[in-house]
Amino acid sequence: MLQISNRFNAYRIMWVLVFFDLPTETKKDRKVASKFRKGLIADGFTMFQFSIYLRNCPSRENAEVHTKRVKNSLPKNGKVGILKITDKQFGNMELFHGIKETVIPQPVQQLQLF
């Protein structure tokens, strides 16, 4: 029973994030970038933001398998980064979507009666 609980804890489960900035000036560049993105999706990655894809892996070993697959499909040009973090670290991320900063109205002076 102890082995099963250790197998799926927040420090063993990993997230693999792939960040990329690929050239898209020519038709050939766009095709290469599209092929790279489609390869990530075929390997189980999902889009987090336009050029950031992520994948949940049950272990460090599995994360390494998917990291190697990404490395084997790297385009000739452009920048690609790969980051592996634990599920615990991923859970500490703060995300915001569509929240605009607003000005807090000043409180109105109120007359106090005794």
Q: What distance in Å separates the CA atoms of residue 101 and residue 98, rounded to the nearest whole number? A: 10
Tell me what pLDDT residue 99 has. Answer: 67
Give pLDDT tens digits for 35-88: 999 999 999 999 999 999 999 999 999 999 999 999 999 999 999 999 999 989
Instruction: For the chain, list the domains and their CATH numbers.
Output: 12-88 (3.30.70.240)
pLDDT at residue 7 is higher than 70: no
Structure tokens at 53: 């894809």
